């Protein structure tokens, strides 16, 4: 789990902001992880590509997440650590993308630019003025 994820989700929920996860993980591993880390209590939607026949960056996964929380693409922000699956997928879906580099994601992709950059999850709150 990314350090600061639980704090960020708590803060977003306190401000009435709906949250969700779009993941290319396998459900059997992912569900246990979000339950034991405490993230589950703060999520309004969970879209796991293993439940469908497509993966990120396919925009259909992002559309499913938006539908689950009742949001439009121009009202949403997606935070991700992979330029190809996260940032490209979100941008192609019309969603603002915040990129946080990590050792797990693809950190460079030609012709893909996030809307925002944060060094860590705490920087996402600062970008949007959330305490």
| Angstrom distance (rounded) from CA 48 to CA 115 | 24
Report the CATH superfamily, name and number, of domain 5-127: HAD superfamily/HAD-like (3.40.50.1000)
The percent of residues in the chain predicted with pLDDT above 70, rounded, is: 97
pLDDT of residue 109: 74
Query: How many CA atoms within 13 Å lie on the side-chain side of 106?
Result: 14
Token pair belonging to 106? 């693809």
| Angstrom distance (rounded) from CA 121 to CA 112 | 20
pLDDT of residue 107: 75
Count of positions (residues) in the chain:
131
* pLDDT above 90 (res 1): no
Residues 80 and 87: beta-carbon distance below 8 Å: yes
* pLDDT above 90 (res 12): yes
Query: What are the boundaries of each domain within the chain?
Result: 5-127
* Cα–Cα distances in angstroms (integers) from residue 115 to residues 8, 28, 111, 126, in the given order: 19, 32, 13, 14
For 50-107, write each residue's pLDDT tens digit. Answer: 999 899 999 999 999 999 999 999 999 999 999 999 999 999 999 999 999 987 776 7
pLDDT of residue 129: 84
Token pair belonging to 2? 């990314």
| Angstrom distance (rounded) from CA 119 to CA 100 | 6
pTM, 2 dp: 0.91
* pLDDT above 70 (res 110): yes
Among candidate residues 129, 100, 96, 128, the one with its CA nearest the CA of residue 115: 96
């Amino acid at each position: 789990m990314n350090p600061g994820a639980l704090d960020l989700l708590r803060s977003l929920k306190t401000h009435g902001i709906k949250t969700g996860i779009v993941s290319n993980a396998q459900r059997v591993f992912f569900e246990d992880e979000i339950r034991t880390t405490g993230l589950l209590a703060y999520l309004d939607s969970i879209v796991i590509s293993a439940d469908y026949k497509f993966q990120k960056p396919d925009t259909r996964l992002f559309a499913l997440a938006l539908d689950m929380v009742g949001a439009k693409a121009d009202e949403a922000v997606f935070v991700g650590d992979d330029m190809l699956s996260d940032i490209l997928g979100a941008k192609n879906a019309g969603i603002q993308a915040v990129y946080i580099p990590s050792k797990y994601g693809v950190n460079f992709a030609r012709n893909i630019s996030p809307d925002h950059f944060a060094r860590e999850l705490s920087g996402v709150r600062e970008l949007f003025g959330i305490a």
